[in-house]
Structure 1
Amino acid sequence: IRPRLHLEDATRAPMDFLHPFIQNVQEISDPYGPELRPKFRICDTMGLGLPFEDVALPRSIPRIFQEMRKLGLQASDLEFHPHNDTWLVVANCLAAVRAGCSVINGTSLGKGERTGNAPLEAILLHLIGMGYYREKQPQFPALNELVDLYAEMHEPVPPKYPLYGRDAHRTRAGVHADGLNKFWWMYAPFNVPALLNRPLEVSLTKDSGLAGLIFLVRQHTGRDLPKDDAHLQRAYAWLLHEFDHGRQTSVEWEEIAPILDLA
């Protein structure tokens, strides 16, 4: 069994303690050969690490891993176990990979103790953008089933959660909806439907204008209506009336479709 050493709270540990500890472990393990060489898990237990080389140790994530490599540890010997207490978990993971760490410990969809462990879907997305996984990419649509399962378990993914939240790819602004109508790549970070199997969406509000309505019609019926279409104008007049009289909630397709009456 290959041992793994869990360096708890490493981003608050003095390096003059970590160095001799790791070296002693290496000396003890040398007689057992490379197959039983220990792995070292660097833990940012309270999320205090920073993804920059120009900050002091032990808070600098890249410098910690650079120090580990100087001690003779290979990338395959190193893991990173981060937390998101101060919002930097994704950046810290990417910095760790760039500094020579081969394994990231994480979860899916922001789960984990306190504020969560590293969201692996976010790490993988950025690693693809950095040139990793050229031959075979992760299957991101598989997490859509997990989103549904969490909802059934009364632990839903927050609406604003990146990539998989209900509102992650939804706009309520007319200028954005108009951009989606004319050139949808303008208001998408990447090919969301292809990579995630999730749609780009528009919710109708007082700010979404005719462009939002046109987008919804195209999305749900495949029809491109001109702005002066009678059905469109009637539905838009109804929308304006709703919001002029105090409505605060957005209007979804199921509510506006009967008013459009496009059958």
Structure 2
Amino acid sequence: ADFYGFVIPFVQDLMKLAQESKVPIKVRACDTMGYGFPFPGTALPRGVPEIFYALIHDGGVPSEQLEWHGHNDFHKGLVNGVAAWMYGCAAVNGALLGFGERTGNTPVEAMLIDYISLTGDGDGIDTTAITEMAEYFRREMNFPIPTNYPFVGSEFNSTSAGIHADGMMKNEEIYNIFDTTKILKRPMGVIITDKSGIAGIAHWVNGHLGLDADRKIDKRHPGLAKMNKWVLEQYEQGRTTSISHDELLEKAKKNLPEYFVSDLDRLKKKAALVARHIVEDFVERPEIRTMDPAKQEPVMEKLQKEDPYIQFVYVVNSQGKKITRNITDIENKAKFETAGLGDDFSDRPWFISPMKDGKSFVSDFYTSKITGALCITVSAPISDDESNIVGVFGVDIRFEDLVRAE
């Protein structure tokens, strides 16, 4: 870039325009290829300190109107962002975990830690949210964060020095560069080898599962002994590398199942949330609140077509009597459309619960007697304009189809 032949004259014109219009104009210095250098004395246009010296002193841009947008192509995304701060730039663009084109952008979580380090002021920042953010990426986005990634990697603050876990816990400062428990809610960990012992495995499990106080696993737990036995067998067979996070997690799930939510339980929870959202929104529709089957059934048919994992949709009145047909798909329509019409369902949990507490209800899993599919039933109370419960709206959902749709 022709910095003094084009950039500075252009910026000066922008500042004149800002003065005349009394509208602040921001100037963003973009290093989209990551060529910048953070070191003073580096020639323009690569020297980050020089860029901001020139923009402020020669271009006339106030610090508060300056931004830096850097990339990490040469491993300088973070240091260039900090250099921009140090030399007068008010804001640095970034992304969580450095997400971005090619090699990524400046990692926001790293900038937060550096901001606190440089200023000595937390400024109300809750740094433990960094750990929560990483857990969200892993759990909800299935994003694999490298184990040694700073601040959030599963082993970023783990030692493989071969010390006994009991000794490490007596003087953590020897091995931990900062108080990771206080700042990130991440207790120091140990990398497991044949030297770790049961105490080391217990420390690893408690740390990685976030178990403390009464929930901590005691090193006398028989499941830990089984894990330790497996570890020792690995080294007896000639292993030379440490046990990985994924291997330990697999063994912990097998030998300490009571401390884990199963994949099925997780899917159950997800299915219940989706289904509950459907019925709670739907019972607010004016057509449903009329308790007139002629008005209810057309919108119920539309719902079933939009959400094909729905097996049956139906409405019962406040006495538990089914007043609508079973709204279902073409495959089941001929056989089951009128099944139960006029029957009394007042003894069913999906009817009793909403009538009693006015809340939506989600059943456990069951095999449908009608179709043989694995289902859950979700129901919600229907209220009139005076908030009186006048009926119950029910939906039977094919669990497998719902999981596929999500």
> Under a length normalisation based on structure 1, what TM-score does the superposition of the two structures give?
0.76
Higher relative contact order (CA 8 A, sep 6+): 1
Change (3 A) 1:167 1:103: same
The yes-or-no answer on 1:58 pairing with 2:58 is no
Q: Is the 8 A contact 2:191 2:242 kept in 1?
A: no
Partner of 1:246: 238
Alpha-carbon separation, structure 1, partners of 2:164 and 2:3:
49
Give runs of aligned pairs for residues 204-219 of structure 1, distance below 5 A: 204-206=192-194, 209-210=195-196, 213-217=198-202
Q: Which SS does the other structure have where 2:30 is aligned?
A: strand
> 1:42, CA displacement in angstroms?
0.5
Partner of 1:87: 75
Give runs of aligned pairs for residues 123-142 of structure 1, distance below 5 A: 123-134=111-122, 136-142=123-129
Q: Is the 8 A contact 2:28 2:68 kept in 1?
A: yes
Q: Is the 8 A contact 1:204 1:213 kept in 2?
A: no
Change (3 A) 1:218 1:119: closer
Partner of 1:20: 9
Q: Is the 8 A contact 2:94 2:106 kept in 1?
A: yes
Percent of aligned pairs sharing the same letter: 34
Q: Is the 8 A contact 1:216 1:253 kept in 2?
A: no
Partner of 2:381: none
**Largest Rg, 1 or 2:** 2
> 1:28, CA displacement in angstroms?
2.7
Equivalent pairs counted in the alignment come to: 236
Partner of 1:189: 177
Give runs of aligned pairs for residues 1-263 of structure 1, distance below 5 A: 12-33=1-22, 36-71=23-58, 72-134=60-122, 136-151=123-138, 152-175=140-163, 180-206=168-194, 209-210=195-196, 213-217=198-202, 220=206, 239-247=231-239, 250=243, 252=248, 255=251
Q: Is the 8 A contact 2:98 2:107 kept in 1?
A: yes
Partner letter of residue 145 of structure 2? V
Change (3 A) 1:149 1:223: closer
Q: Quick check: 149-158 or 22-31, which moved more?
A: 149-158
> 1:246, CA displacement in angstroms?
2.9
> 1:115, CA displacement in angstroms?
1.1
Partner letter of residue 5 of structure 2? D
> Under a length normalisation based on structure 2, what TM-score does the superposition of the two structures give?
0.51
Alpha-carbon separation, structure 2, partners of 1:39 and 1:176:
55
Alpha-carbon separation, structure 2, partners of 1:186 and 1:143:
24
> 1:199, CA displacement in angstroms?
2.3
Change (3 A) 1:76 1:234: closer
> 1:132, CA displacement in angstroms?
4.7
Alpha-carbon separation, structure 1, partners of 2:226 and 2:134:
37
Q: Is the 8 A contact 1:179 1:186 kept in 2?
A: no
| Deviation string, structure 1 residues 114-137 (Cα, Å, up to 9, x no partner) | 111111110110121112534x24
> 1:242, CA displacement in angstroms?
2.7
Q: Is the 8 A contact 1:53 1:63 kept in 2?
A: yes
> 1:174, CA displacement in angstroms?
0.6
| Gaps in structure 2 of 5+ consecutive residues | 207-215, 256-406
Q: Which SS does the other structure have where 1:64 is aligned?
A: helix
Q: Which SS does the other structure have where 1:42 is aligned?
A: strand
Alpha-carbon separation, structure 2, partners of 1:89 and 1:176:
37
| Gaps in structure 1 of 5+ consecutive residues | 1-11, 226-231, 259-263
Q: Is the 8 A contact 1:53 1:60 kept in 2?
A: yes
Alpha-carbon separation, structure 2, partners of 1:103 and 1:31:
24
Alpha-carbon separation, structure 2, partners of 1:183 and 1:249:
23
> 1:141, CA displacement in angstroms?
1.9
